[in-house]
Amino acid sequence: MIMVIGVLIFSFFLESIVSNFIPLDTNFFVPLFSLISLIIIYPYFNGEKMNYLKVCAGIGLLYDVVFTDTLMMNLVLFILLGLFICFMNQLFSNNVFSVILISAIIIFFYRVMGYGILCLSGLFVFHMERLWESIFSSLLLNLIYASIIYLITDFLAKKYHIRKID
């Protein structure tokens, strides 16, 4: 559990800090570390899906309140993506390549659903180019982060004999 809490807190604050070093109009380095942390922590729940989804909801709610001021939106998105992470983990074994693949798919769905909701609500006018831009700008940094944080947590799990799904 310490590992899970550690990864969540570290990713949450790192996302906020990293945003201060990255240009607002960046085409490559948009951080989504909190979302990535949900993929990393899943194996440590050892199949306890309900508890995992509760954590997803908690992080989503915190993300809404602290970062985006959009109560409910990330809460719902994070739960849906949590369910999707559960499903994906049943298909793939837990290794660095599958983590990268799942991260890429999750980022894609997060952006599509987020933009879809905002366009449906009439806040933005839909532009396909803008959607692709948002997906591609979020991939590079987050996939690097996903692989680094996976390798670190995997090393620590092996060293301290922490149980997880492989």
Residues that bind another protein (CB under 8 A): 13, 15-17, 19-26, 30-31, 62, 65-73, 76, 114-115, 117-118, 120-125, 130, 133-134, 138
Helix (H) or strand (E) holding 105: helix 96-120
Please give the angle made by the CA atoms of 130, 135 and 140, to the nearest 5 degrees.
135
Minimum distance of another protein from residue 152's CB (angstroms): 18
The DSSP letter of residue 42 is: G
In the bound complex, what is the minimum distance in angstroms from residue 65's beta carbon to another protein?
5
Contact residues for 88 (Cβ-Cβ < 8 A; gap 6+) = 102, 105, 106
Q: How far is the CB of 111 from another protein (least distance, A)?
A: 8
Cβ nearer to another protein, comparing 13 with 155 = 13
When the beta carbons of 127 and 158 are compared against another protein, the nearer one is 127
Give whichever of 54 and 158 is closer to another protein, judged by the CB atom: 54
| CA atoms of 153 and 151, how far apart (whole Å) | 6
Nearer to another protein, 71 or 96 (CB): 71
Nearest approach in angstroms of CB 31 to another protein is 8
Nearest-approach distance from CB 23 to another protein, in angstroms: 4
User: How far apart are alpha carbons 69 and 82 in whole angstroms?
Assistant: 21
CA neighbor of 15 nearest in space, from 38, 49, 47, 42: 38
The angle formed by the CA atoms of residues 130, 73 and 14, to the nearest 5 degrees, is: 75
Question: Closest CB to another protein among 18 and 157?
Answer: 18
